Amino acid sequence: MKYLPIDSQLFVKNRKKLMELMMPGSLAIFNANDIFPTNADGTMAFRQNNDLFYLSGVDQEESILMLFPDAPNEKHREVLFLKETNEEIAIWEGEKLTKETAFKTSGIKTVFWLKDFHKTLRTLMYEAETIYLNDNEHLRADTAVQTRDDRFRKWCREKYPLHNYERVAPILNSLRAVKEPEEIEMMQTACNITGKAVNRVLQFIKPGVMEYEIEAELMHEFLRNRSRGFAYTPIIASGFSACVLHYIENNQECKEGDVILMDIGAEYGNYASDLTRSIPVSGKFTARQREVYESVLNVFKKAKAILRPGIIIADYHARVGEYMTEELIKLGLLTEKDVENQNPDWPAYKKFFMHGTSHYIGLDVHDVGNYYSPVEAGSVFTIEPGIYIREENLGIRLENDFYIGEDETIDLMAHIPLEADDIEAAMKS
């Protein structure tokens, strides 16, 4: 891993929060992600299961975590299983976690090798009444590919059919939504790295550069600052492509007079950042581009003012829609009659602003959390309004990440140029 060591007390606290919410006599089991194949003997880069990482800090394949708060043997209340390393693995793949380094990483005292998993599980299953099994229960999850957790759920129910089984995801999704100070620190680091990359490309962008050249400049700055890279597939969309919400080809020339929409963010310590800026290729917005930019920025600032603890995201987004409607009328894109005759299930503003305003962010860029409960203090959300005018080859979106505190909403990206004048000034420097 490129990131600096994380204090194990974060993971100690996270496990404690989960175990306090588990049913009496219950055992929870979490599996690492697979290393997925590409072709021949190739593999994709390993990315840890975020729930296992959240609870242990272990960033290694073929790892299993078991939590059994009421285990009769105190040593079995937190157990970590690791792939046993040897000289051949060290030669070919490098150093793996030892029992000592695993304790230093996670704060878990009982560390066994993976070969002892089934024997230990059999003992603990006889002592447990309820088994918590993990699953990816994200609203947008595409579960076409089986994970180790998926395979384990099936195997465990077949092997031990008489136990009570419960879902752990609803508990973890709620816990992960509210961040510990150490998590905010890592997210701030990810945002700071993103800021360095933005400053770099603001001085690089000019007519004639290719979108992928901008992507390369960003990646360079990420890597040199201990980031693994992009927290998600980057969008570098110039001209009409900025009106394609998930444009990821990044293969077009940036032309004078166009605006580039960059939706990018660095990852640090497995935590994501998520930023969008809209940049004039020539270094200066046209009058119309600036007019649309200022409208988006107005909505952005009003959204920030109301994203507070206690608000429900659906209500929040409806109010943001009202702000956007006002701006679209000012821009001549909607009329009062359009609004009067709108379909309440698909308001008129949706023609130009068709996505949500905010989402949770954390270990996942679209992080887990309950969108139907009031926002809790300690959550982190994006704010990302946009206006997309296909007829004008113009898409403007602005996005920063915000920590929702008890008394104030803190912009983790406040140091990154956002105002149109600041964007233009940075491009000239």
Three-state SS letters, 140-178? CCCCCCCCHHHHHHHHHHHHCCCCEEEECHHHHHHHHHC
CA distance 197 to 218: 5
**pLDDT band at residue 50 under the 50/70/90 scheme:** very high
Q: Select which of 95, 100, 142, 246 is catalytic.
A: 246
Backbone dihedral region for residue 357 (phi beyond 0: left; psi -120 to 50: alpha; all else: beta)? alpha
Whether the predicted pLDDT of 87 surpasses 80:
no
Q: Select which of 364, 384, 401, 424 is catalytic.
A: 384
Split into its structural domains, the chain has a count of: 2
Q: Select which of 41, 87, 95, 100 is catalytic.
A: 41
CA distance 329 to 326: 5
Active site residue 359: yes
CA distance 264 to 176: 23
Mean pLDDT confidence for 404-411: 95
Partners of 280 in the β-ladder: 259
pLDDT digits (tens, 9 = 90+) for 299-308: 999 999 999 9
Alpha carbon 23 to its chain centroid, in Å, reads: 29
Residues of the chain with pLDDT > 70, as a percent, come to 100
Whether the predicted pLDDT of 382 surpasses 90:
yes
Q: Which tokens sit at 212?
A: 């992928």
Active site residue 51: no
Say if 90 falls within a structural domain: yes
Mean pLDDT of the chain: 96
Whether the predicted pLDDT of 88 surpasses 90:
no
CA distance 429 to 424: 9
Query: Quick one: 121 and 153 in the same domain?
Result: yes
Say if 4 falls within a structural domain: no
pTM to 2 decimal places: 0.96
Active site residue 246: yes
pLDDT digits (tens, 9 = 90+) for 91-146: 787 789 999 999 999 999 999 999 999 999 999 999 999 999 999 988 888 778 89
3-state secondary structure of 240: helix
Q: Select which of 355, 371, 392, 411 is catalytic.
A: 355
Q: Select which of 323, 397, 401, 403 is catalytic.
A: 397
Q: Select which of 221, 267, 359, 360 is catalytic.
A: 359
Query: Quick one: 187 and 173 in the same domain?
Result: no
Q: Which domain holds residue 54?
A: 9-177
pLDDT digits (tens, 9 = 90+) for 238-295: 999 999 999 999 999 999 999 999 999 999 999 999 999 999 999 999 999 999 999 9
3-state secondary structure of 283: coil
Mean pLDDT confidence for 155-173: 97
- Sign of CA pseudo-dihedral 254, 258, 259, 263: negative
Short-list 145, 140, 137, 165, CA closest to 153: 165
Q: Which pLDDT belongs to residue 164?
A: 98
Q: Select which of 59, 267, 274, 364 is catalytic.
A: 274
Active site residue 397: yes
CA distance 197 to 219: 8
Whether the predicted pLDDT of 86 surpasses 80:
no
Q: Which pLDDT belongs to residue 374?
A: 97
Q: Select which of 132, 271, 388, 403 is catalytic.
A: 388
More confident residue, 85 or 393: 393
Count CB-CB contacts under 10 A for residue 381. Answer: 26
Query: Quick one: 170 and 188 in the same domain?
Result: no
Q: Select which of 366, 367, 401, 403 is catalytic.
A: 366
Active site residue 274: yes
Query: Quick one: 292 and 307 in the same domain?
Result: yes
Mean pLDDT confidence for 22-42: 96
Active site residue 399: yes
Which of 128, 160, 177 marks a domain boundary? Answer: 177
Say if 3 falls within a structural domain: no
Q: Which pLDDT belongs to residue 139?
A: 80
Are 74 and 25 in contact by the 8 Å Cβ rule? The answer is: no
Q: Select which of 263, 267, 327, 364 is catalytic.
A: 263
Count CB-CB contacts under 10 A for residue 317. Answer: 17
Q: Which pLDDT belongs to residue 429?
A: 81
Tokens 């310590």: give the residue: 269
Query: Quick one: 137 and 189 in the same domain?
Result: no
Q: Which pLDDT belongs to residue 89?
A: 77
